[in-house]
Structure 1
Amino acid sequence: MKHLLLTCLLGLFSLTSTAQQPLEWDELLEELYATNDENRDAREDDYDVLADLAAHPLNLNTASREELARIPFLTAEQIEDLQAYVYQYHGMQSLGELAMIESLDALRRQLLPYFVYVSPVEEQCKFPSLKAIAKGGKHCFLLTANVPFYQREGDRQGYLGYPYTHSFRYSFRYSDYVQAGLVGAQDAGEPFLAHGNGLGYDHYSFYLLLRKMGRVKALAIGRYKVSFGQGLVINNSLGFGKLAMLSMLGRQATAIRAHSSRSAANYLQGAASTIEIAKHLNLTTFLSYRSIDATLTDDGTIKTILKTGYHRTLREISRKDAASQLAAGAHVGWSSGAISLSLSGVYSRFNKDLTPNTSLYYRHYAPAGNDFWNVSADYSYQHPRWALTGETAIDGKGHIATVNNLSFQAAHNLSLLAVQRYYDYQYTALFARSFGDNGTVQNESGLLIGANWGLTRGLSLMAYTDFAYFSHPRFGAHTVSKAWDNLLMLTYNRQRWSLLARYRLRIRGRDNADKTMLLNEVAQRGRLALTYSAASLACKSQLDVATSSSVKRSIGYMVSESGTWKPLSWLTLNGMIGYFQTTDFASRIYVYERGPLYSFSFPAFFGKGMHYSLFARADLSSRLMIILRSATTHYFDRDHISSGLQQVNSSTLSGLDIQLRWRF
C-alpha cells in the first residue's frame, strides 16, 4: 500500500532531478531534513546508507525480501509485488518493466533505478570461495578533506590540532556476499599523531559484513548498526527524522549493516548475525562492548554520555573513552504471507553508574542506574487495500511504549494514514529511536492523520496534522505542554517544468523568560520552488520564508538560484547563490546544496548576508574521480561569527572541499 508521506517526499525529489546527473537522489535528503533540527552526525550517517546503496545497487532478479527491505522508501506491498513479478515472469529484462507493477507509483519508478539494476540470473548455489573473493573483489579508496580559508579563536590558542578536516575510506566488496572496510576521520582542531592519537586519526571504524552464507543470512564483525521492529527498543541504523521515520512504519525494519561512516557515535562493536532457524522464522542476535565518551562526577560515575566525537582540547580529550558499555540483544521474527510477528529483547550495562543531573526539570526522568533492559512485540498485517503495523515495548521497570500505524487506500488516487504513539514519561530505552515530535521515545503521546491526493495528472496534494501531548516537563517547557504540527504541500509537473509549494505551521508550548508560564511558540515555514530540467541542464529558483512568534516576533526569507550543467559525459558542474535576511536564529532558513560523496551540506542561514557555492565532479576514468567544492557565506550585519573557541573574527566564512576516489 502506498505510504502517502514518502510519496510526496519522492515527488519533491523528482522536481529537482536532472537526467544523467550522478547521485540525484541526494535531493531527497533536503526534504527529509528541511523541517527538522537533527544532529549532524545522524544526518551524515543516514546519508551514508543511501550513498552505499547507490554505489552498490541490487539486482532485482536475485534480490531477496531482506535485501529489498534495505531500500528505505519501499513499502511492504511494493517489495512483495516486485518479488512476485520476478517470480512469475522469471526475471526482468529491463527497468522499464517497473511500470508493470501497479503498486509502484511513477515517482518511485523514477527513483528506484538509482539503487537497483537488472541482469540475468547467475546461479550461485553456495557462498563463494576465498579464492573467488580475492580474485573478483573490488577495492575503493576515498580521500576527503576540507580546507577553511578563515581562522577560529581555537586555532590560535586552545585547539591542539590544525584546522583541517580530513578522512579516508577503504572498502572491499565482492558482489553482495562480502563487504569490508576501514574508515579514519579527523575533525578540525583534533591532534594528528599526537596527544594519544599515536596511530594518526582520532577516529577509526572497521567492519566485516558477510551475507547469504546458507542459513546465516548476515554476519557482522567489528563496528555495525542494528534496528529491531519500529525502533522502540533499538534503532541505530536509520533515523531520517519525523517524516521519513513515519514512512518506514509501514513495514518491519529489522536489519544489520556495517558502520561505515565517519561518525564517532551511535554504533555497536562486536558481532551480530541473522540466522534462518526454520522456514519463515529468523533469529537476529548481537553482542557489543565499546568505550564511550562521557563526563564524570567527582565520585567517578557517569554524569553525561557525549556523542559529538570532538577531541580538540585537553578537556575534551580527558572525556574520551571515559566509560564503557556492554550491550546484547535478540530478535525472533516470523512471517508468512500477509502476517508478521516478532519478539525483541535488549540488555545494556555500563562499567560505571549513570547519574544524570535530575535537578534539571527536563532531565528529571533521564536514564539513571546501571542495568537497563527492554522487551517488545512488533506486528504487521498487509491487506491489498489497508495495512496495520506497530510495536509495543516495556522497560525493566514496567513502563510502556507503543506506536501503531494504519494506512488505507481509499481510491486509486487517494491514500489515508494514521499514526498513534504513546511513550510513558518514565520509559527508558537507551538505543531507541522512532517516530515522534520530541526527539526521544519518552514522555509523549500523539496522533497523526494524513492524506495524499492525486488531484489530476501531474498535480498532487499532501496534507497532515499531528497533535502531541507531553504529560511531564521536557526541554523548553517546565510543565505539561502540547504541540500541533501541520503541513500542506502541492506539487505540479508539466513536461520539463515543475512547481513546488509547501507550507508548515507548528505551535508548541514554550517557557517564558522566567519559566513561570508557557507561551505558544508559533512557527511558520513556506517554500515556493520552480524547476526546469533538460537532458544536461537544470535550474531552480526558490523562495523560502520563515516566521516565529513567542516572546518576540521573528521573520526571515531567502531567495536562491541553483543550476546543474553536464557539458561532457564525464563532467558535472553545479552552482548556487542566495541572499538571506532574518531577524534572528528563530527564523533561520535551511537550504540544501551539493556536497562530496558520503556527506552533504545543509546549513542554517540567519542574519543578513549572501551564500554561494561552486561544485565540480570529474569522472576522469572508470577508476578515478575527483570532486572540488568551494562555498562562501558573507554576512552584512556582523564583523565576527560564532563565539568562544569557534569564533571567527571576520564577516566571511569560506572553504574548499576536495575529494578523490580510486577504484581498483
Structure 2
Amino acid sequence: MRSIGKIAIVAVLSMYYTEAKAQAPPKIPIDQEQLIERLFPVQDEDIDYEAIYEVLFQLYSNPIDINKADSEILQASYLLSPDQISNLIRYRSEFGDFISLYELQAIPGFDSNTIDQIIPFLTLGNESSGKTQSFWKRVKMEEQAYFLFRHRRVWETRSGFTPPDTSSTGRISSRYLGDPNDLYLRFRIQHARDFSLGLTLDKDAGEQFTWDRKSARYGFNFLSFHFTRYNMGRWKAISLGDFQVSFGQGLVFGAGYSLGKGAETVPTIRRSSIGITPYTAALEFGFFRGVGATYRFKNWQSTIIASSTSRDGRIGTALDTLENTTEFISSFNQSGLHRTPSELATKSQFKELNFGTNLQYSNRNGKFYSGVNYLLTNFDQPWQRSLTPYNQYEFRGTNNSIGSLYASYNWRNFFLFGESAYSQLGGNGTVLGFISSLSKQVDFSFLWRKYDRNFHSFYGNAFAEGTRPINERGVYLGIQIKPTLRWKINSYFDFFKFPWLRYRIYAPSSGYEWLSRITYQPNRNLTAFFQIRKEQKERNIPDSGEPALNYSIQPIQKTNGLLSLEYQISKDLFIRSRVLFSKVDFNSKVTSGFMILQDVQYSFGAFRLTGRMALFDAEEYENRLYTFENNVLWTFSVPAYFGQGMRYYLVGQYQFNSQLTGYLRFARTSYTDREEISSGLQKISKPYQTESTFLIRYLLHR
C-alpha cells in the first residue's frame, strides 16, 4: 500500500500547481513550432518536416507510462537530461509507483518548464483498465478516431498547367497531366498502447486523379495503410501494412527520421530503440510494407519483419555480348512526384523485398540493453548507376545485406551508447558516444562516427553531416549550461571529414560547424534568445574557362544568426519578433541576407487567428533563410526566403463543435527583384505567389 505520507505530499503539490483541477495535470497540446526549433536539425536543405513530425506524433499519441518506463524510453522524448532521468527512476524505486503526475515536482531537478514540456508525453498507465471489453468494441467506441481532409493550391498559373507549345521541329512540349490541386485524406483510429488503424491518401499538385491499375494509381496517387496491435500477452507489437523500425543508433534501422544538430545540443545525438511504429506520413519511400512483429520473453525481445513493395525508378536497357536486351535500374525517384509523362514513367518500376530481424536484451532495471540487427534487401532488377568520379563506391547490384551490434548503458548520470555495422561489400559504419549531466547546471554530449565510402544502408539514418551515413568521419561535442533558472546556453562543435569524393566536391575534403544559443526566460510568458551558427565545407571552384587544375576546391563559409523575442501578453494574445541574417564567403565573394518578421496569435471564443509579416533581402540562393511557418493542423511549412520581397500569411482555426474543427490558411510572397518566379514547368509569370490551405477534421466519437 502507498503510504499516507506520500498521498499527503501529492495533495500539497496539487494545491500549488498552476490551475490544478485534478490528480493529473490537463493534457495540453504540443507546441509544434517549439518542437521543431528545439529538436529538428538546423535547416539548410529541403526536408520533409511532416514525415519527421509524424514519428514524434506517434510518441505523443502513445504517451509514456511513467510507472513502467525505463531510461531508454524516457530518453526517447529528448526532453529530459541524464540527471533528470536518473532522479526520476531513483524516486520511483524509493517511493513506489507515481499516483499523480504532480509528484514530478518532488523529483530533484524537475522545474516548472521541464514539467510543462514533458507532461504531454506522459501517462500514469492504465493499459489494462480499458481492455475488459472485446477488441472490436474498443475500436468501435474509441474517442481517438477521426477523418481529416486537406486541400492546398497555388493560385497563380504555373507553366506546367498552360497549353503545350509546338517547337519548330514539331515536338510538343511536356505539361502536367493533372490539375493544380494538392489533396490529402486521412482516417485514423487508435488507443495508446493498444491499437492503431489508419489509411492515408495523397495527390500532389499536377498529378492526375484517376483510376489506373497499370500505373498503380487508384484515384489518389499514393495510398498508405496500417493496422498495429500492442501488448497482446508476450507480443509487444504486431504491425500489418506500412510501418517503420528503429533499433540501435540508426545504422541499420533508422525509422525514417533523424534528429541531429540543432538548438537542443545534447540529447538529440542519440537514437532510441523505439522498435516498430506505424507509418502515417505521405512520403513515398523510406518505410516497410508487409508485416513486422516483436515478441518478448523475460528480458529478451525478438523482432522479425518482411516487406514487399514497389519503388519508383528509371529503367535502362543494355545489350549483352549475345545481343540480348537486359533491363536495369539506372536511378531511383524519391520525389514521389508523378506529374508529367516522364515522371509517371518512373512509378512502381521495380520491386523491393526486405527481410530483417532484431534480437535485444535488457536487464531488469533497464539501465543496460544490447542487441543485434540484420536486414537483407533485394531488388528484382540490378541497380547500375552511371559512373561519375564521386559515386564509384556506391551500391550496385540486386542484393545488399547489413548487420550490426549495438549497446547502451546508463551508468549514474552517463548514457553510454554505440553501434557498429557491416554491409555486404565490406564497408563499416560505427557510432560511439555518451551523454552526461556533469552537474545540475551542465549537460555534455560526445559522439564519434566513421562511415566507409562503401558502407551501404538503405534504411539507416544515423547521425551524419551528409544526408546518408556514408563516406564520413567526424567528432561532435555538445554542451548545455543553465547557470540560473532564467538563463540557458547551448553550444556544439562538429568536425567532419569526407575521405572520398562527393557531389560537387571532386577531392577528399573536410569541414566544421558550430552553433551557440543564449536563452533568457525570466518567466513563462517571456522568452528571448540569440543564436549564431557557422559552417565551413569545401566545394569545387566554378569553371572560369582558364587553364587550371581539374576539380580544384575551396572552402565555403556560411554564417547564420537569429535574434528572437516571444511574449505571451495574455491568455489569448501572443507575439513574436525576429531578425535573421546570413553571410556566405566563397571564391573571394561575400554575399549576405537579412529578414525581419513579426508574428501575432490571438484567440477569442471558438476562433484562433495566427498571422505573420516578413520582409527579406538575400543576395544569392546560398544566402537563403529558413524559418518555420504556422500552418493548419499537422502540416508544416519551412520555405526558403531569398531575393527581395515580402511574405505574409494568416491562419484561422474555428471549432464548430466537439467533433468538427476547420482550418484555413492564406499566404502570399511578393518579390521586388523579379518579374517571374521559378523556372521550367514550375515557372509563374508574375512577381508574386499566392497559396491557400484548407483542412477539416471530424472526430467520430466526441
Given the two structures, how large is their TM-score scaled by the length of structure 1? 0.91
Give the deviation of 1:303 after TM superposition: 1.1
Q: Aligned pair 1:325/2:352, yes or no?
A: yes
In 2, Cα distance between equivalents of 1:55 and 1:177:
11
Aligned counterpart, 2:288: 268
Aligned counterpart, 1:522: 557
With over 3 angstroms needed to count, the CA separation of the structure-2 counterparts of 1:151 and 1:440, relative to structure 1, is same
CA contact (8 A) 2:199 2:223 kept: yes
Q: Aligned pair 1:513/2:538, yes or no?
A: no
Given candidates 352, 377, 387, the residue that maps to 1:348 is 377
Aligned counterpart, 1:291: 310
Give the deviation of 1:335 after TM superposition: 1.0
In 2, Cα distance between equivalents of 1:379 and 1:63:
18
Deviation string for 1:272-317 (max 9, x for gaps)?
A: 01110x3111111111010000012223201111111101111111
In 2, Cα distance between equivalents of 1:641 and 1:193:
30
In 2, Cα distance between equivalents of 1:294 and 1:127:
47
Q: Aligned pair 1:398/2:426, yes or no?
A: yes
Deviation string for 1:553-572 (max 9, x for gaps)?
A: 2100000000111222x322
Identity fraction in percent = 25
Q: Aligned pair 1:207/2:226, yes or no?
A: yes
Q: Aligned pair 1:542/2:578, yes or no?
A: yes
Task: Specify the code of the residue in structure 1 equivalent to 2:278.
Answer: A
Bigger shift: residues 428-437 or 234-243: 234-243
In 1, Cα distance between equivalents of 2:465 and 2:98:
41
Bigger shift: residues 236-245 or 439-448: 236-245
How many residue pairs are counted as aligned between the two chains? 642
CA contact (8 A) 2:265 2:480 kept: no
Q: Aligned pair 1:146/2:161, yes or no?
A: no
Give the deviation of 1:150 after TM superposition: 0.8
In 2, Cα distance between equivalents of 1:545 and 1:198:
44
CA contact (8 A) 2:266 2:443 kept: no
Q: Aligned pair 1:559/2:596, yes or no?
A: yes
Task: Specify the code of the residue in structure 2 equivalent to 1:141.
Answer: F
1:54-93 aligned at under 5 Å gives the runs 54=60, 57-58=63-64, 60=66, 71-74=77-80, 82=88, 85=91, 89=95, 91-93=97-99
Bigger shift: residues 116-125 or 582-591: 116-125
Aligned counterpart, 2:171: none
Give the deviation of 1:106 after TM superposition: 4.8
Three-state SS of the structure 2 residue aligned to 1:327 is strand
Three-state SS of the structure 1 residue aligned to 2:57 is helix
Give the deviation of 1:240 after TM superposition: 3.0
CA contact (8 A) 1:21 1:566 kept: no
Bigger shift: residues 378-387 or 311-320: 378-387
Aligned counterpart, 1:8: none
Larger Rg: 2
With over 3 angstroms needed to count, the CA separation of the structure-2 counterparts of 1:128 and 1:213, relative to structure 1, is farther
Aligned counterpart, 1:312: 339
Q: Aligned pair 1:420/2:464, yes or no?
A: no
Stretches of structure 2 that go unaligned for 5 or more consecutive residues are 1-25, 164-174, 319-326, 544-549
Give the deviation of 1:35 after TM superposition: 2.4
Bigger shift: residues 67-76 or 554-563: 67-76
CA contact (8 A) 2:73 2:274 kept: no
1:186-205 aligned at under 5 Å gives the runs 186-193=203-210, 196=215, 199-205=218-224
Give the deviation of 1:408 after TM superposition: 2.9
In 2, Cα distance between equivalents of 1:135 and 1:532:
41
With over 3 angstroms needed to count, the CA separation of the structure-2 counterparts of 1:346 and 1:219, relative to structure 1, is same
In 1, Cα distance between equivalents of 2:203 and 2:127:
42
Task: Specify the code of the residue in structure 1 equivalent to 2:176.
Answer: Y
In 2, Cα distance between equivalents of 1:120 and 1:215:
18
Give the deviation of 1:147 after TM superposition: 2.6
Give the deviation of 1:538 after TM superposition: 1.2
Three-state SS of the structure 1 residue aligned to 2:210 is coil
Three-state SS of the structure 1 residue aligned to 2:469 is coil
In 2, Cα distance between equivalents of 1:586 and 1:501:
22
CA contact (8 A) 1:252 1:380 kept: no
In 2, Cα distance between equivalents of 1:23 and 1:453:
25
Give the deviation of 1:224 after TM superposition: 0.7
Task: Specify the code of the residue in structure 2 equivalent to 1:26.
Answer: E
Give the deviation of 1:599 after TM superposition: 1.6
CA contact (8 A) 1:588 1:604 kept: yes
CA contact (8 A) 1:544 1:559 kept: yes
CA contact (8 A) 2:239 2:291 kept: yes
RMSD: 2.5
In 2, Cα distance between equivalents of 1:452 and 1:459:
11
Q: Aligned pair 1:470/2:498, yes or no?
A: yes
With over 3 angstroms needed to count, the CA separation of the structure-2 counterparts of 1:136 and 1:491, relative to structure 1, is closer
Stretches of structure 1 that go unaligned for 5 or more consecutive residues are 1-18
Give the deviation of 1:659 after TM superposition: 0.4
In 2, Cα distance between equivalents of 1:249 and 1:179:
29
Give the deviation of 1:385 after TM superposition: 2.5
Three-state SS of the structure 1 residue aligned to 2:507 is coil
Aligned counterpart, 1:578: 614
Aligned counterpart, 1:4: none
Aligned counterpart, 2:238: 219
Aligned counterpart, 2:169: none
In 2, Cα distance between equivalents of 1:120 and 1:375:
37
Aligned counterpart, 2:661: 625
CA contact (8 A) 2:507 2:551 kept: no
Bigger shift: residues 22-31 or 182-191: 22-31
Q: Aligned pair 1:28/2:28, yes or no?
A: no
In 2, Cα distance between equivalents of 1:348 and 1:161:
34
Bigger relative contact order, structure 1 or 2, given CA contacts below 8 A and separation 6+?
A: 1
Bigger shift: residues 395-404 or 55-64: 55-64
CA contact (8 A) 1:137 1:175 kept: no
Three-state SS of the structure 2 residue aligned to 1:411 is coil
1:372-383 aligned at under 5 Å gives the runs 372-383=400-411
1:37-48 aligned at under 5 Å gives the runs 37-41=44-48, 43-48=49-54
Given the two structures, how large is their TM-score scaled by the length of structure 2? 0.86
Three-state SS of the structure 2 residue aligned to 1:242 is coil
In 2, Cα distance between equivalents of 1:271 and 1:438:
31
Aligned counterpart, 1:658: 694
CA contact (8 A) 1:611 1:634 kept: yes
Task: Specify the code of the residue in structure 2 equivalent to 1:622.
Answer: S
